[in-house]
Structure 1
């Protein structure tokens, strides 16, 4: 079974490739090799910063890679991820980086998927879906489940609940171990007033990734809607126990205090 924990987000799914550097031919092989070694070192450092969520430091390292190798598509993709992250939210800049990466490699599905996610974060649902579908046209794309998930999430956000259900059920049949599909299907069912169905889907996601914070939050609130306060309390506590320091955790603590009274 794949490990999906680190790739899951409550909006669109992003992915980063490990370093594979390509250089254009130049007339000074010695300088090329030296620049390539430097670029690889800076990329690895940037990748380490990125995975540790030290985004500003990662940004500097990937920019250094581009100074050495302007056509490094992985560095461009990484810069797009950083600038479209919640800490930056510079989506127009992200779109430029992803498009530059795709111009270098028109079959770069990871960048297409990430470009689609940037458009979704800008509220451009149909534009996002277009790029998710483009990513899926590549038969060797390593993570098609991410693009299918993103299509369904965009459909959900634009209010096309019937379309999202069709996409999600197809994705689940192909990739039953991908928890994000159950999560978004649960969100759709909440919108449709099918609270118990939503609870069932959220629990399926938690069987795969028990600490999936977004699911824990939605499941706790679904139990509240059903009047099952004890179950809601259990899941609010799990959010606190996860150790995450965000708005969701603070709200979970408020609910715990209210439910205790």
Structure 2
């Protein structure tokens, strides 16, 4: 009887282990399926965003988020929608910060946080976030963060620091016209009008739309000025002034 009971106990233990393994395997399969579905929704969202269909993209990103709430790219994408399309900066920051917690070395999200705080007028905070972004040697587009850094320095009236930041952007992306346009604003504010004109001319030559046509640039800025306000309107007014030197 003892031997029979012992065998029965071992048999029950084996069944328990097998059952546990089945549960784990099923859970793993379910998790993998959820991750695959989340990835599919994310890709669809990116495709919509590339077509400027922000609401459709947002829905797909939300579906991905429900399936995989710890995907840094999904969190970042939702933040981008809130920031650039829905004008909900606080919500954007919330999702960017979630992404940063998932990956403390995610430079793209620190750049986006910088953009968000710059939009709020918190330029010192923005600068520190841009610096965090470029501190990662694996960051593939540091020129974006250097331009953002330069913009924040410019708003603070630190024109030399702004120019230095734009020059760092140029080192990494020599044909980016925006760096030279922003430098032109700095030189103009510093009273270095010749340098401002030179920088603007170079920017117009590099721009893939203007292709060196100053009149085309002037017309474009004039139209854009009617659609903007605040800092952006002043920047465009200054661009127009520089173009007329």
**TM-score, length of structure 1 as denominator length:** 0.70
The answer for the alignment partner of 2:81 in structure 1 is: 82
Tell me if structure 1 keeps the 8 A contact 2:180–2:199: yes
User: What is the distance in 2 between the residues matched to 1:45 and 1:124?
Assistant: 34
The answer for the alignment partner of 2:33 in structure 1 is: 34
The answer for the alignment partner of 1:183 in structure 2 is: 181
User: What is the distance in 2 between the residues matched to 1:71 and 1:26?
Assistant: 21
User: What is the distance in 1 between the residues matched to 2:77 and 2:201?
Assistant: 33
**CA offset digits 1:218-254 (Å, max 9, x no partner):** x9xxxxxxxxxxx8644344669xx99x827xx99xx
User: What is the distance in 1 between the residues matched to 2:159 and 2:221?
Assistant: 28
User: What is the distance in 2 between the residues matched to 1:174 and 1:239?
Assistant: 27
Tell me if structure 2 keeps the 8 A contact 1:26–1:32: no
User: What is the distance in 2 between the residues matched to 1:71 and 1:238?
Assistant: 42
Gap regions ≥5 residues in structure 1: 1-24, 220-230, 253-261
Superposition CA RMSD, Å: 2.9
User: Alignment partner for residue 199 of structure 2, among 201, 206, 209?
Assistant: 201
The answer for the alignment partner of 1:235 in structure 2 is: 217
**CA offset digits 1:75-128 (Å, max 9, x no partner):** 11011111111x322111111111000100011010011111100011000000
**CA offset digits 1:187-246 (Å, max 9, x no partner):** 11222233442232122223332326xxx9xx9xxxxxxxxxxx8644344669xx99x8
User: What is the distance in 1 between the residues matched to 2:156 and 2:198?
Assistant: 24
Matched position secondary structure for 1:134: helix
Structure of greater Rg = 2
Matched position secondary structure for 2:209: coil
Task: Identify the structure with bigger relative contact order (alpha carbons < 8 Å, sequence gap 6+).
Answer: 1
The answer for the alignment partner of 2:96 in structure 1 is: 98
The alpha-carbon deviation at position 52 of structure 1 amounts to 1.6
User: What is the distance in 2 between the residues matched to 1:133 and 1:123?
Assistant: 17
The alpha-carbon deviation at position 174 of structure 1 amounts to 4.4
User: What is the distance in 1 between the residues matched to 2:25 and 2:162?
Assistant: 49
Report how many residues are paired: 206
**CA offset digits 1:23-51 (Å, max 9, x no partner):** xx996122122212211221111101112
The alpha-carbon deviation at position 177 of structure 1 amounts to 2.3
